[in-house]
C-alpha cells in the first residue's frame, strides 16, 4: 500500500470520518436485528425492515445521479449526515420514554433508505476527487482496511451496549457518528466537477440506461445486484436468526460471531495487491464472487443430522462454525468491494456511477 497517501489531509480526514460513520451503522444494524428478533421472534420481520430500507434506493437510483450532478456534492454529504444524525438523536430521546414498534421502525428505515440513495453515489465520488486515478486502488484499499477495523470493533461492542442499555443507546451512538462525519466533511476540500456542460435531467437519465449496452457495465451491474439481493441477506438476516432462534444463542454470542467474521476483511491488504497485479477489475470481481459462493456452500453441512445436533448442543462449536463461514465470506466480499469501487470510480467520467451504485 502507498502509505504516502495518508499525507493527503483530505483523504485522511475522509477515511477517518467514514470509519466513524460505519461504526454507527454497524451499531444500528446489530441493534435493530437483535431488537426486531426479540420483539417478534421472526426473521421475516427483520427481512421486511431491510427490504423497506432498500426500496427508495431501487426506485430513486435512476434520478439520484443526475440530481447529484447538479448539486454540490459536499453540501449533499453534510446535509445527509446531519439529517440522519438528527433523526437518530430524536429516536434516542423518544426511546427514553417509549418502546419502538414495528411501524415506527419501518418509517425510520424508509427515511434512511431515501438518505442512503443520495449519500452513496455522492460519497463514492469523494476519493476520486481528492486522489489521482493511479492511486485509486491503493486509496480504496486503505479506506476499506480502515473501515474493516471499525467493523471488527463495532459488532461485539454493539451487542454489549444493546444488552445492557437497549436500543436507545444504539441510536445515540449512531446519531453522534453521523454528526461527527458531517463535521469532518465540512473540513474537507473536494474538487468541483470538471464537466460544466450539464444536459437536461431526463436526457441524463436516458443516457444512463443506454450505458447498459456496454457489456462491462451490464456485467458489473448484474453482479452487484445479485450479490446484494441474494447473498448478503444470508448474513444480515440468516445469521441473527440462526444464532438467536435456531441455536438459542444470546446477544453476546451473535456479537462475537460478527466480530470474528469481519476480521477476515483485514486480509485485503494481501489479496488486493496480488489480484491487482494479475487481473483486471472485472476478472478480480469474478474470482472474489466464487470465493463468496464457496464460503456459503459450507452451510450445507447443516444438512448432516449428526453435525446439526452437535452445533445445536455446543455453543462453542456453533460460534466456531459460523465464524469460519463468515470469516471466509467477508474476506472475499471485502476484496470484491475494493475492485468494485475502483471500477465504478474509473467509469464515473462517463456517468456510470449513478446507475451502478444503487446496489453498492
Distance CA 285, CA 275 (A): 10
- pLDDT (0 to 100) of residue 239: 83
Stretch 284-311: mean pLDDT, rounded?
Answer: 89
- pLDDT (0 to 100) of residue 240: 83
Does 210 have pLDDT greater than 90? no
- In this predicted model, what pLDDT tens digit does every residue of 3-29 receive, in sequence order? 677 788 888 888 888 888 878 888 888
- pLDDT (0 to 100) of residue 218: 62
With the C-alpha atoms ordered 30, 31, 34, 39, is the resulting torsion angle positive or negative? negative
pLDDT band at 354 (very low <50, low <70, confident <90, very high): very low
What are the two backbone dihedrals, phi and then psi, of residue 278, each rounded to the nearest 5 degrees? -100, -25
What is the DSSP secondary structure assignment for residue 227, as one 8-state letter? I
Mean pLDDT in the chain? 79
Residue of 329, 319, 252 whose CA lies nearest to 311: 319
Contact (Cβ atoms closer than 8 angstroms) between residue 226 and residue 296: no
Does 320 have pLDDT greater than 90? yes
- pLDDT (0 to 100) of residue 72: 76
Residue of 106, 327, 68 whose CA lies nearest to 205: 68
pLDDT band at 202 (very low <50, low <70, confident <90, very high): low
Stretch 229-245: mean pLDDT, rounded?
Answer: 77
Does 353 have pLDDT greater than 50? no
Does 258 have pLDDT greater than 70? yes
* 309 contact partners, CB below 8 Å, separation of at least 6: none
- Residue written as cell 470474528? 260
pLDDT band at 307 (very low <50, low <70, confident <90, very high): very high
Contact (Cβ atoms closer than 8 angstroms) between residue 87 and residue 175: yes
Distance CA 54, CA 99 (A): 24
- pLDDT (0 to 100) of residue 62: 63
Does 92 have pLDDT greater than 90? yes
- pLDDT (0 to 100) of residue 203: 58
- pLDDT (0 to 100) of residue 110: 87
Contact (Cβ atoms closer than 8 angstroms) between residue 11 and residue 130: yes
Q: How far, CA to CA in Å, does 22 sit from each of 27, 221, 257, 283?
A: 8, 24, 18, 28
* 110 contact partners, CB below 8 Å, separation of at least 6: 52, 53, 55, 56
- pLDDT (0 to 100) of residue 172: 93
Distance CA 12, CA 10 (A): 6
All three cell numbers of 350: 462517463
Does 49 have pLDDT greater than 50? yes
Residue of 123, 143, 139, 144 whose CA lies nearest to 262: 144
Does 82 have pLDDT greater than 50? yes
Distance CA 201, CA 196 (A): 14
Residue of 232, 180, 173, 241 whose CA lies nearest to 26: 173
- Residue written as cell 474509473? 346
Amino acid at each position: 500500500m502507498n502509505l504516502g497517501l495518508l499525507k493527503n489531509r483530505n483523504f485522511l480526514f475522509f477515511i477517518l470520518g467514514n470509519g466513524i460513520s460505519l461504526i454507527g451503522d454497524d451499531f444500528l444494524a446489530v441493534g435493530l436485528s437483535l431488537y426486531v428478533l426479540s420483539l417478534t421472534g421472526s426473521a421475516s420481520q427483520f427481512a421486511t425492515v431491510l427490504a423497506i430500507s432498500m426500496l427508495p434506493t431501487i426506485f430513486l437510483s435512476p434520478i439520484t445521479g443526475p440530481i447529484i450532478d447538479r448539486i454540490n456534492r459536499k453540501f449533499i454529504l453534510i446535509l445527509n449526515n446531519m439529517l440522519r444524525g438528527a433523526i437518530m438523536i430524536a429516536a434516542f430521546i423518544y426511546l427514553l420514554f417509549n418502546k419502538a414498534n414495528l411501524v415506527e421502525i419501518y418509517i425510520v428505515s424508509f427515511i434512511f433508505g431515501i438518505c442512503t440513495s443520495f449519500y452513496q453515489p455522492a460519497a463514492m465520488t469523494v476519493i476520486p476527487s481528492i486522489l489521482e486515478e493511479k492511486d485509486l486502488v491503493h486509496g480504496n484499499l486503505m479506506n476499506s482496511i480502515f473501515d474493516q477495523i471499525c467493523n471488527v470493533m463495532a459488532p461485539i461492542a454493539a451487542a454489549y451496549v444493546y444488552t445492557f442499555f437497549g436500543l436507545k443507546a444504539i441510536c445515540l451512538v449512531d446519531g453522534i457518528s453521523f454528526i461527527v462525519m458531517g463535521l469532518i466533511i465540512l473540513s474537507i476540500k473536494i474538487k468541483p466537477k470538471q464537466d460544466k456542460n450539464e444536459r437536461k435531467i431526463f436526457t441524463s437519465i436516458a443516457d444512463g440506461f443506454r450505458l447498459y449496452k456496454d457489456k462491462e457495465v451490464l456485467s458489473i451491474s448484474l453482479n452487484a445486484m445479485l450479490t446484494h439481493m441474494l447473498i448478503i441477506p444470508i448474513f444480515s438476516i440468516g445469521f441473527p436468526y440462526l444464532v438467536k432462534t435456531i441455536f438459542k444463542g444470546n446477544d453476546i454470542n451473535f456479537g462475537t460471531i460478527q466480530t470474528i467474521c469481519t476480521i477476515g476483511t483485514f486480509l485485503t491488504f494481501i489479496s488486493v495487491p496480488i489480484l491487482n497485479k494479475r487481473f483486471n477489475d472485472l476478472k478480480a470481481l469474478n474470482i472474489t464472487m466464487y470465493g463468496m459462493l464457496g464460503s456459503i456452500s459450507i452451510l450445507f453441512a447443516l444438512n448432516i443430522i449428526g453435525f446439526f445436533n452437535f452445533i445445536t448442543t455446543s455453543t462453542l462449536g456453533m460460534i466456531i462454525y459460523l465464524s469460519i463461514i463468515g470469516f471466509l465470506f467477508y474476506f472475499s466480499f471485502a476484496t470484491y468491494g475494493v475492485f468494485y469501487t475502483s471500477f465504478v470510480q474509473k467509469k464515473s467520467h462517463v456517468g456510470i456511477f449513478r446507475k451502478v451504485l444503487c446496489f453498492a
